[in-house]
Structure 1
């Protein structure tokens, strides 16, 4: 094996595994570094594709390991990355609820707060699994169906500007993350 092959096919999976572990252990309020650690392999893969740098796998098993780890990072890394993007975009304006949602003022004008967008982490994982799978099997219409289902399912909770903003930013960040990793796998 050449030095470049060792770097890509041995060090690469180790970096991906570390990024997956950081994503899985980062919790609901990840630090920016932990939440965006997956940007490193994403950028490296993107640059390799952009400059047509191909490093053949010395063993098909290593290529399979890389494919699985990239796909897993596309799913589990999206949660922390989305949390960081939401935190940066909303400047920590949202008050977190007990069930993973956000507290917003009731639209009836009684001054009460209620929790909306509960279950976002679970929905995000399912959404990213669907996006990664859809791209890998080449069925992009599945992504459109996921967007439609998610929008319809959350429609009743989107009556406040705060909820709409978080929904749009979170959905786009999550899907872009999953799509970028799946595209790297599909194009490599």
Structure 2
């Protein structure tokens, strides 16, 4: 097969895989946890297949509308998928031992730092994680697309400084590290599709 034969098939296929992954990820946000996990795994598999196609099938880099459409779908899947992926990985890591809060955070016991005693009712920490995750993934994809991956270090540093006072409990530290890494790795993996496509 030559490049001309592969070109019309590869980019619509990759865009279709990313579009399907996006649909599964959006459905995962509104369905029950068990079904959402399965949909998220299917979306991840579609994304991996798309990345493998781009990496392994020789083709002319996309231009014009195909490049724009590929970029839009890569951005959408990178941003939409990070939340479900982080939740899935956190559920595996914590085995449901951390109680969720009503504002998107987690409930941890409020301890007296000097006496290691529980003081009062549990408090909610790491609130607003969904919004912060979306912004962090947008920033990561923008940094990679613009050819300035060093900006990712700034994003991670700002997030760490912003959350520093909430990381005094083991549960909060674990959730912060695992959730952030899962979210960032997902976004970087999806963004690599466009980076590979551009050559």
Which TM-score tier does this pair reach, normalised by the shorter chain?
Answer: 0.7 to 0.9
Q: Paired residue for 1:90?
A: 94
Answer yes or no: is the 8 Å Cα contact 1:36–1:80 preserved in 2: no
Match of 1:40 in 2: 45
Consecutive unaligned residues in structure 1, runs of 5 or more? none
2:140 is equivalent to residue 131 of structure 1? yes
| TM-score (norm: length of structure 2) | 0.83
The residue aligned with 1:177 is 186
Higher mean C-alpha displacement, 63-72 vs 150-159: 63-72
1:103 to 107, 125, 128: 107
User: The residue matched to 2:182 in structure 1 has which SS?
Assistant: helix
Partner of 2:59: 55
In the alignment, structure 1 residue 23 sits paired with structure 2 residue 32: no
* Whole-angstrom CA distance in 1 between matches of 2:63 and 2:151: 32
How much is the aligned-residue C-alpha RMSD, in angstroms? Answer: 2.2
Q: CA deviation at 1:48?
A: 3.5
Secondary structure class of the residue paired with 2:123: strand
Retained in 2: the 8 A contact 1:34–1:80? no
Supply the distance in 1 between the matched residues of 2:62 and 2:29 (Cα, whole angstroms). Answer: 36
The alignment partner of 2:175 has SS state of helix
Task: Provide Cα deviations, 1:17-46, integer angstroms capped at 9, x if missing partner.
Answer: 222122223227472222233322332244
Structure 1 residue 151: deviation in Å? 0.3
**Cα distance, 1:7 vs. partner?**
4.5
How far did residue 125 of structure 1 move?
Answer: 0.3
**What is the Cα deviation at residue 57 of structure 1?**
6.3
Q: Which moved more, 1:97-106 or 1:16-25?
A: 16-25
Aligned-partner Cα distance in 1 for 2:130–2:109:
22
Shift of 1:85: 0.8
Displacement of 1:9: 2.8
CA distance in 2, matches of 1:183, 1:9: 15
The structure-2 alpha-carbon separation of the partners of 1:151 and 1:129, relative to structure 1 and needing over 3 Å to count, comes to same
For 2:62 and 2:188, the matched residues in 1 are separated by 27
CA shift digits 1:96-127 (9 cap, x unpaired): 11111110111122252110111000000000
Q: Distance in 2 between matches of 1:18 and 1:45?
A: 11
